[in-house]
Structure 1
Amino acid sequence: MHRHAERKNRMAGKKEQTILTFQRTEVKYRMSRAQYQGFMEHTKMLRVPDEAYPHSLILNIYYDTEHDELVTRSLDKPVYKEKLRVRSYGIPGKRSPVFVELKKKYDGIVYKRRSEMSLREAENFLQRGIRPALDSQINRELEYFRAFYRPHPAMVLCYDRDSYQGAFDPDFRMTIDRNIRYREQDLRLEDGDGGSPLRTETPYLMELKVGDALPIEMARILSELRIFPASFSKYGEAYRISHSRADVSVQAACR
């Protein structure tokens, strides 16, 4: 239901701010190219492209503390974790609509709160403490988070996303992300979608979003192809790779 409301607002191109809340189970799967091809072949009768945005270029800027506490805590895989990001669909301008998202995960359940505003409003809000025009419960939560953590732009993450819904269950959602890239300089969404590729043997990241249980036929196909749930954070993995390289460089310089 919430997803349908989001799609309706995005398609209508409304100028007023949109406040949305999600609560759902998100299960992630990492796939090799061969697994991806097999999965797409076996599930072609079970899925249909998303009606509004079957293919998207997604740009995110993640905010973190001075000492990267949010991402390092996430890498420890705690029961509870949270993150703050600004997301755009396509490369935005200052007046383009973006989503400021506060994402919390507790015991496998994802709670996502998002507020729509212009990119300029988002930057003024998060970086300068200038509150957006709309006073809402979610914006007050974002203000509390900002005041508590004092986050700053930490990393830009971009990827290409294919989105689907269930052919027989419209509440079942599936996204597949590919060409994931990241950067820790030029931390502005309007600077484009360039960055270092997130190199991995499993370059396809799939998320299945369900309210209750995974459809039986989908579960059977995943099992046959040996595609299993995997804990994975794009931001966390990019941070780990980037800082592993930095540690190696420091060690080499000290020799």
Structure 2
Amino acid sequence: MAIEVFNRYENKYLMDTKAFYGIYNRLTEYMDLDAYNQDDKFYSISNLYYDTPQHSLIRTSLSKPKYREKLRIRAYGVPEPDAKVYLELKKKVFGLVNKRRTSLRLGEAYEFVRTGRPPAFREGMNKQVIAEIEYFLSRYELVPMTYLAYDRIAMFAKDGRDLRITFDTNIRSRRHDLALEAGDYGEQLMEKGQWLMEVKAEKTVPVWLSRLLSELSMYRTGFSKYGNEYKKSIRYAGKVPELYRAGGSDGDTMDRMERTQMERERILL
């Protein structure tokens, strides 16, 4: 069964491709690849973030309060309309990240957030998490706000599952066509060849990792995917690119999807 409740500390690091390979090759001594990466391939994650029309959740988060929260639907790859996805409530309290999620069908997740009414319970759902999300939805008037997708490599410590490191690249976003099943195209959020590494630990990081990060002169950053996408959308307010305004022809959409696929293949090479 997939883990549905996480409590851990998360530290983030930005790097270029050279730095990525430098640390990745060293990590293989202590860590194993996630099952989805066993063939040395990326797996793709797509997310639909919800917020108030005034962007209250992300604006609060960017002010760095002691407590912050967000809601998203997460899928692996591009889901079919009836595919299993995860509805996730993510909180951060005094630096500790608490993530609670339950599996739902995509249509159920959409309807739950839209109406605030949970779907009929069935095996595989987490009752406690559904109740918490229902309460969260009662506090905010939420709308789908941002689509974010990226390609990931994930690793777990060989001596336990309490240390996980992920590398995300080809991070892309859009603010229209906000359906996970619509494809994973989008505007690039970072420069080509940039990677976001996240170190996720239930306790303190092991000594060997602290030494490795120091040796490679890697320093933490406060990078947030949704936060940076929001700031980017603000910068584009006066000259909005195609992916940040509603509409766009089907031909344009297909061109963007093809460019995204070409970019992914370029990175893999």
TM-score between both structures, scaled by the size of structure 1: 0.86
| Count of aligned positions | 233
Residue 105 of structure 2 corresponds to 118
Secondary structure of the 1:243 match is helix
Residue 2 of structure 2 corresponds to 6
Looking at structure 2, the residues matched to 101 and 110 of structure 1 have their Cα atoms a distance apart, in angstroms, of 12
Q: Of 246, 250, 255, which residue of structure 1 is paired with 2:237?
A: 246
Any conservation in 1 of the 2:36–2:43 contact (CA below 8 Å)? no
For residues 192-246 of structure 1, what are the alpha-carbon distances to aligned partners after superposition, in whole Å with 9 as ceiling and x for unaligned? 1000001248821111111211121111111111111111210000110121121
Secondary structure of the 1:246 match is coil
User: Offset of 1:168 from its aligned partner?
Assistant: 3.2
Structure 2 segments unaligned to the other structure (5+ residues): 241-269
Looking at structure 2, the residues matched to 238 and 142 of structure 1 have their Cα atoms a distance apart, in angstroms, of 24
Any conservation in 2 of the 1:103–1:110 contact (CA below 8 Å)? yes
Structure 1 segments unaligned to the other structure (5+ residues): 8-19, 250-255
Residue 7 of structure 2 corresponds to 23
User: Offset of 1:53 from its aligned partner?
Assistant: 5.2
For residues 128-171 of structure 1, what are the alpha-carbon distances to aligned partners after superposition, in whole Å with 9 as ceiling and x for unaligned? 33421128221121111112111110000000011111133343
User: Offset of 1:63 from its aligned partner?
Assistant: 0.1
- The alpha-carbon distance between structure 1 residues 148 and 192, as it changes in their structure 2 partners (threshold 3 A), is same
Residue 16 of structure 1 corresponds to none
Residue 131 of structure 1 corresponds to 118
User: Offset of 1:42 from its aligned partner?
Assistant: 2.4
Residue 17 of structure 1 corresponds to none
Q: Of 121, 139, 144, which residue of structure 2 is paired with 1:153?
A: 144
Any conservation in 2 of the 1:71–1:235 contact (CA below 8 Å)? yes
Looking at structure 2, the residues matched to 113 and 199 of structure 1 have their Cα atoms a distance apart, in angstroms, of 28
Looking at structure 2, the residues matched to 60 and 51 of structure 1 have their Cα atoms a distance apart, in angstroms, of 21
User: Offset of 1:39 from its aligned partner?
Assistant: 0.9
What is the identity, as a one-letter code, of the residue corresponding to 2:9? T
Structural RMSD (CA): 1.8
Looking at structure 2, the residues matched to 43 and 22 of structure 1 have their Cα atoms a distance apart, in angstroms, of 23
What is the identity, as a one-letter code, of the residue corresponding to 1:120? G
Q: Of 89, 92, 96, which residue of structure 1 is paired with 2:83?
A: 96
TM-score between both structures, scaled by the size of structure 2: 0.82
Secondary structure of the 1:6 match is coil
Any conservation in 2 of the 1:95–1:120 contact (CA below 8 Å)? yes
For residues 63-89 of structure 1, what are the alpha-carbon distances to aligned partners after superposition, in whole Å with 9 as ceiling and x for unaligned? 000100011111111111100000001
What is the identity, as a one-letter code, of the residue corresponding to 1:160? D
Q: Does 1:166 align with 2:157?
A: yes
What is the identity, as a one-letter code, of the residue corresponding to 2:138? A
- The alpha-carbon distance between structure 1 residues 96 and 82, as it changes in their structure 2 partners (threshold 3 A), is same
Any conservation in 2 of the 1:30–1:202 contact (CA below 8 Å)? no
For residues 5-60 of structure 1, what are the alpha-carbon distances to aligned partners after superposition, in whole Å with 9 as ceiling and x for unaligned? 417xxxxxxxxxxxx21111112111122221211222221221113555321000
Task: Judge which range, 21-30 or 64-73, deviates more.
Answer: 21-30
Residue 251 of structure 2 corresponds to none
What is the identity, as a one-letter code, of the residue corresponding to 1:23? N
Q: Of 187, 200, 210, which residue of structure 1 is paired with 2:178?
A: 187
What is the identity, as a one-letter code, of the residue corresponding to 1:112? K
